[in-house]
């Protein structure tokens, strides 16, 4: 899987637009295209080191992915680190709860790797991700 951030405005009232691309997943159908999940977020609350609340809307023609999902993220100081808690409201009916849980867990594991070891690599214009994009930009990342 690779990802691309199309727009980024990290302030309350701002948000970001992002795509996830599924390469080589035979049994996966993206929400936006056959290999892409594109979504638009809006930052509702942004309290650094405390809380992030955002709405998430999938760019999809499929009715089962319509509506605004709410994601609440809380940061709790613990001995030796910070606990990150995710809460979801209004998950679209097309997203199975177990898939949402698995994806969230994977994201948290990747966040931990990034914070602890810095293991996210930036893609350049020669990487596969840009073959999927019409704007040719290099603002993409890939989890390793």
Give tens-digit pLDDT for 21-35: 877 755 566 677 667
> Which token pair is 89?
């409201």
β strands within the chain, DSSP E: 2-9, 15-21, 36-47, 51-58, 68-78, 81-89, 120-122, 140-143
Q: How far is Cα 54 from Cα 119, in angstroms, rounded to an integer?
A: 26
Say what the pLDDT of residue 84 is.
87
pTM for the structure as a whole: 0.73
pLDDT digits (tens, 9 = 90+) for 70-121: 999 999 999 988 888 999 999 999 988 898 898 888 888 877 887 787 655 5
Q: 65 near 92, Cβ under 8 Å?
A: yes
| C-alpha dihedral (20, 130, 1, 55), degrees to nearest 10 | -10
CATH number at residue 52: 3.30.530.20
Segments forming the whole domain that contains residue 19: 2-143
Q: 100 near 69, Cβ under 8 Å?
A: no
Structurally, how many domains does the chain consist of? 1
pLDDT over 80 at 7, yes or no? yes
């Amino acid at each position: 899987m690779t990802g691309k951030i199309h727009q980024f405005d990290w302030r309350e009232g701002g948000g970001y637009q992002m795509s996830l691309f599924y390469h080589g997943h035979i049994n996966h159908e993206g929400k936006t295209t056959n290999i892409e999940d594109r979504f638009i977020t809006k930052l509702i609350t942004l309290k650094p080191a405390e809380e992030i609340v955002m709405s998430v809307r999938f760019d999809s023609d499929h009715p089962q992915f319509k509506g605004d999902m709410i994601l609440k993220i809380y940061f709790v100081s613990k001995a030796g680190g910070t606990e990150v808690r995710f809460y979801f409201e209004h998950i679209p009916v097309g997203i199975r709860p177990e898939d949402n849980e698995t994806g969230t867990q994977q994201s948290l594991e990747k966040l931990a790797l990034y914070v602890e070891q810095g293991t996210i690599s930036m893609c350049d214009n020669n990487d596969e991700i840009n073959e999927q994009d019409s704007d040719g930009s290099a603002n993409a990342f890939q989890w390793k």
